[in-house]
Structure 1
Amino acid sequence: MTELATPYFMIHEDKLIENLEKCKKLKELSGVKLVLALKCFSTWGVFNIIEPYLDGTTSSGPYEVMLGHETFGKETHAYSVGYSEQDVLDVANKSDKIIFNSQSQLNRFAHLVPDSCKVGLRLNPQRSAAGQDLADPARPFCRLGVRKSILESNIAEKISGVMFHMNCENKSVSSFSALLDHITENFSDLLAKLEWVSLGGGVFFTYPGYDLEALAEKLKEFSELHGVQLYLEPGEAVVTKTTDLVVTVVDIVENKKLTAIVDSATEAHRLDTLIYNEPATVAEADEDGEHAYVIGSCSCLAGDQFCEAKFAVPLEVGQRLTIADSGGYTMVKLNWFNGIKMPAIYCQRSNGEVELLNQFGYEDFKRMLSINSVSQ
């Protein structure tokens, strides 16, 4: 693939299918339905690979709802932290389920939802498994979901289901099971009156070594106990380790440490690396190597770097590096900071063929900022 101009994302179909086969197994063992979290991954050019394995999509904003409805099909779940009236009008007739974040939004907008769309409410169980405070859906004073203590006494008459989102990259079956036990202890009376429950995303069941059978058993037990159809909303679990960001070293500078500057930036192309201070992984690195480098971005932000890594041989200008595991929360967060060239997006099919899904140029950058100049 040396003829492809960097930077670019490469989605690998065979790796994606490996994760999807685990999704299939979880569904078969537990009866859970899986809806793809578009907030994590919305590259619809590969939805034809994902669609046979999953039951639909779930969204966090109006445009994601429209995208899921138009390009994926099956079930379309709509959720937003804050709907406007126009948002509800735009998405309700395209959705199978619409989930409100608060009772005030539910009471204000439920009458706009057609009978064909089921109404739900997000609940905050006030417990979670999240490694980062920024992403903790049960953090103090959190605006996400309704606490049990303020639920209206007749809430079950207004909804057919609820959503709990309480995990972020949770790799522990026992931790997730404890959260389900907590929900059972606190919400059993309400769940007995409902048809469905979404347990949100952040359950990292495709992670190497994860006990998929134990998770399936717990999900089946919970579903049968409360008589509800369960949903999970995987995002990262679907695309983990499926996608690379390929970059080129454009310069090497020294300031007590050597920095290899590449033609990409975390600020623009891999934002969560910067937000969560979680170093990226370079596939070509060697932890026993003698040559250490900071892998620095080409943006003007001083702290914008991918990671520090060691290599067996010195890096050279013009050398390509592979930023591994770059599928989740990357392409959905691309931006034009510094006017840096936007990565193209490719998919390498299982037969080795490489397909272009999208590419971007100067006109895309220009059009995003204005389409007309101000009249003098």
Structure 2
Amino acid sequence: MKITTPYYLIDENKLLRNMEIIRQVRQLSGAKSVLALKCFSTWSVFELMRQYMDGTTSSSLFEARLGYEKFGKETHAYCVGYSAEDIRAVTAFADKVIFNSASQLERYYELVKTKKVGLRVNPGISHSHFDLADPARRHSRLGVTDKAVLAAQLPRLSGFMFHYNCENDDYPAFVRQLDYIGEQYGDMLKELEWISLGGGIYFTKEGYPVEAFSRTLADFAKTYGVQIYLEPGESAITGAAELVTRVVDIVQNEINIAIVDASVEGHMLDLLIYRLAAKMEAEQTTGHSYMVAGRSCLAGDVFGTFHFADRLEVGSEIRFADAAGYTMVKKNWFNGLAMPAIAVKRLDGTLEVVRTFDYADFLTSLS
């Protein structure tokens, strides 16, 4: 099947590889995994993912509702700042309602007290390659830092959420962090039913010691008598999708520049936010060099510089890897550029276009 570019292509067989690791962790450790919808919300592959994961976690009312309606199983509702309207709506379907602050918990407890109530804890430690994504950065608003405040709220709570990692693939660092959590909060954990260790633990990365990781989780859960939840986002979908583009022009300005029919600003925004280059599944180190750029009017709309075995020409296909996490959820209509379609390569090899976008979608996104 020939699909008009640009389009996101999700490969279920590549997704399955991550799902099987998540299931292995569940079997070995007892830890449950809920999909972090802030990272990936493309519900056309939820039928596969729900066979391996225990539910979803969210950062807003709309994400929580999407998880409930399209994924099912457990629905964890978290938000940095709920409104009263949010709380009234989310309590209709959420299994767990997690607050970011003690003040929000105080304000809305009467509305949620029939649910499993959680509170986010900021343990003052983190693992992040970027200050922008560091939940324990100075003056962070994410979670409660005062242990006395936490202790005072314990009678209202069934669990704590700790989210302090971002792409942490360092298992020894994870162990040191978890030991710290136990040392600092162990007495309180023994009074709770569950804890979430959040997302950002890159346990599906090639070579990660999954069995040792699982034993560590199992030992912690047994020591403190809690059900552990993980909130994989990137770990659930890493390596499972591409952004497929075609060259629409080639220009020279000291170097060869290939312009494709997509945009970093519009279609892989995280690269721009974190000043990263795009990736290709099998990047070459020799060959014909091109800067590959998007077709928006933003001067810095650049995917990166890559080598190709053959010279590029108008119509050449270029595929960018890892186009699922924090990518499809952030796509936008900047410059009114054509929104990439969404296609899925199913487990049996069938290629299915599950969503296309046209001018009417652009029109109705505005007013």
TM-score range, shorter chain: over 0.9
Counterpart CA distance in 1 for 2:199 and 2:28 is 19
Is 1:283–1:321's contact at 8 Å kept on the other side of the alignment?
no
Correspondence list, 1:220-259, <5 A: 220-259=218-257
The residue number in structure 1 matching 2:56 is 57
Q: Is the 8 A contact 1:93 1:114 kept in 2?
A: no
Distance 1:21 1:149 in 2: 37
Distance 1:332 1:312 in 2: 32
Letter in 2 for 1:340: L
Partner of 1:306: 303
Q: 2:167 aligns with which of 166, 169, 177?
A: 169
Q: Whole-Å Cα distance in 2 between the matches of residues 280 and 240 of structure 1?
A: 14
Aligned partner of 1:10 in structure 2 is 9
TM-superposition CA deviations, 1:32-84 (whole Å, max 9, x none):
00000000000011100100100000000000000001111110000000000
Number of the residue aligned with 1:202: 200
Percent identity (aligned): 51
Aligned length: 367
Partner residue of 1:374? none
Equivalent residue, structure 1, for 2:66: 67
CA distance in 1, matches of 2:224, 2:14: 35
- The structural deviation recorded for 1:330 is 1.0
Aligned-pair CA distance for 1:285: 4.2
Partner of 2:130: 132
**Contact persistence 2:37–2:58 (CA under 8 A):** yes
Distance 2:78 2:174 in 1: 22
Query: Which residue in 2 is equivalent to 1:261?
Result: 259
TM-score w.r.t. length of structure 1: 0.96
> Does structure 2 retain, via aligned residues, the 8 Å contact 1:92–1:114?
no
- AA of the residue aligned to 1:331: M
Task: Tell me which residue corresponds to 2:348.
Answer: 351
List alignment gaps of at least 5 residues for structure 1. Answer: 371-376
Contact 1:284 1:322 in 2 (8 A): no
Cα offset for 1:247?
A: 0.1
Cα deviation for residue 203 of structure 1 reads 0.6
- The answer (yes or no) to whether the contact 2:56–2:76 under 8 Å persists in 1 is yes
Question: What's 1:293 paired with?
Answer: 290
After TM superposition, the structure 1 stretch with the greater mean CA deviation from structure 2, 148-157 or 354-363, is 148-157
DSSP 3-state at the match of 1:197: strand
Which position in structure 1 is the counterpart of 2:186?
188
Look up the match of 1:25.
Answer: 24
- Please tell me the residue identity of whatever aligns with 1:227: G
How many angstroms apart in 2 are the aligned matches of 1:52 and 1:283?
27
Give the C-alpha shift of residue 325 in structure 1.
1.4
Matches within 5 A, 1:84-103: 84-103=83-102
TM superposition score normalised by structure 2 = 0.98
Question: Alpha-carbon deviations, 1:107-132, whole Å to 9, x = none?
Answer: 000111151x2000000000001111
In 2 relative to 1, CA 148–185 (structure 1 residues): closer, same or farther, beyond 3 Å? farther
Please state how far the C-alpha of 1:288 moved relative to its aligned partner.
2.0
Deviations 1:318-371 (A, max 9, x none): 10111111111111111000000000001011221111211100000001101x
User: Which residue of structure 1 lines up, in the alignment, with residue 328 of structure 2?
Assistant: 331
Displacement of 1:154 after TM fit?
Answer: 2.2
Q: Distance in 2 between matches of 1:114 and 1:157?
A: 11
Separation in 2 of the partners of 1:154 and 1:338? 51
- Between 97-106 and 252-261, the greater mean CA deviation after superposition: 252-261
Question: Please, which runs of 5 or more residues in structure 2 have no aligned partner?
Answer: none
Q: How far, CA to CA, are the matches of 2:275 and 2:300 in structure 1?
A: 10
Aligned amino acid, residue 326 of structure 2? Y
The runs of at least 4 aligned residues of structure 1 exceeding 4 Å deviation read: none
Alignment RMSD? 1.0
Alpha-carbon distance in structure 2 between the residues aligned to 1:74 and 1:283: 33
